[in-house]
Amino acid sequence: MAVGRGGTKLKDIADLVGCSLATVSNAINGRGRMSEDMRREILAKCAELNFVPNSAGRSLRLQRADAVGVIYAPSFAELFGNIFYARIMEGLSETFGEAGLDLILGNRKDSDGLPSIVRQGKVDALVVLAGVFEADAYESLRNCPVPVCMVDGHVGALEADAVTSDGFGGGRLVAEYLVREGHQNVRMVAYKNPLYNIEQRIAGFLSGLRASGVEAREDDVVIRISDNAEAGERVLDSLESGEAPTAVFAVNDTLAEYLATELQKRGKNVPGDVSLVGFDDDPIARRCEPALTTVGMDKRVFGSISAGLVLERLAKPEKPLVHHVQPTRMVIRDSVSNLGG
């Protein structure tokens, strides 16, 4: 089965054309000087037999795999059921494909947590989809012998190129927008789990409030939760209190959608009684009732940008680390009321 059994090889082409196998290799790789006729004849024969040099032989000699690993956590279904990551994968697949690199899914791990494909030499680099990575996941990548590009992760956790969305800028945009619409007493709801992109959004939101002249103490503004159920209770509690907020910023659209449903169940009108903003511009935001005002970004390009970073790194291993920050923008729909003001 498999690999070479009966498959065409360099030697076969050489015999057919009547030259040495070195010349065939040179023709294919566009090096060496030979007569135009010879080169054409060799290439024609290769095309005719659909010959492609065997990857194992090539890899062994060249000390490179022509493949990139993709690492993710926690589970494949969780990851790829998410259209955001599906889009990233598509971008990776396209850009690497054009460069002649294949994508390997690196789910197996060595005893020290490094993906097996790395020490097996199956990949030249790793793209790490780190959106929900815990600290120890980064730890195991620390001594990775191939370059790593981190997507949507905790910048600084690793010496690696990185691509993130501008959570800070997005948080700021939300604050500025809410204040402009007359909201001064606001809350942000975020998970306790200190993920990089969540912290960025919080920091940006607080910064935006302050820049808009609203005094914002983190402890007063940010409601830290462990799960959605807690979010529902805490927000409802705050609405019953003397200091009821007029707007709530949920750290992502899924949470915002949950809150909308929960609030409406308890007879609260959105945005009549309280305005709601999400983050991500997830497809769910559009389907929400009312349609959710949120923060969007061009997710399509995440994959191609990370792939580009990897390609550059492979070409120039010593170049300085790059951190690409993808801009975010307000996506205004129907979940925020204008308080006049």
DSSP H helical segments within the chain, as ranges? 10-17, 21-28, 36-48, 55-62, 76-80, 83-98, 116-119, 135-139, 167-180, 196-211, 218-221, 228-240, 253-265, 283-287, 300-315
Q: Are 237 and 264 in contact (CB under 8 A)?
A: no
**Of 16, 19, 43, 330, the one binding DNA by CB under 7 A:** 19
The region of 12-20, 93-101, 192-200, 308-316 touching DNA under the rule CB under 7 A is 12-20
The two tokens of residue 317 are 């291993």
Q: How far is the CB of 139 from a copy of itself (least distance, A)?
A: 15
Q: Residues 6 or more apart from 25 whose CB is under 8 A from it?
A: 10, 53
DSSP reduced 3-state for 270: coil
Query: Residue 234: which of DNA, a copy of itself, none does it interact with, CB under 5 to 8 A by kind?
Result: none
Using CB under 8 A as the binding rule, the residues of this chain from 75 to 134 that contact a copy of itself are: 75-77, 79-81, 83, 85-87, 89-90, 93-94, 97, 100, 102-108, 110-112, 114, 116-117, 119-125
Give residue 223's region: left, alpha or beta (phi > 0; psi -120 to 50): beta
Binding of DNA by 62 (CB under 7 A): yes
**Of 15, 20, 74, 142, the one binding DNA by CB under 7 A:** 20
* CA angle (127, 128, 130) in 5-degree steps: 155
Q: How far is the CB of 36 from DNA (least distance, A)?
A: 8
Query: Residue 140: which of a copy of itself, DNA, none does it interact with, CB under 5 to 8 A by kind?
Result: none
Q: Are 17 and 41 in contact (CB under 8 A)?
A: yes
Query: Which residues sit at the interface with a copy of itself, rule CB under 8 A?
Result: 1-7, 47, 50-57, 59-60, 62-65, 67, 75-77, 79-81, 83, 85-87, 89-90, 93-94, 97, 100, 102-108, 110-112, 114, 116-117, 119-125, 145-147, 314, 317
Query: Which residues sit at the interface with DNA, rule CB under 7 A?
Result: 3-4, 7, 9-11, 18-23, 25-26, 28-29, 31-35, 38, 53-54, 56-58, 60-63
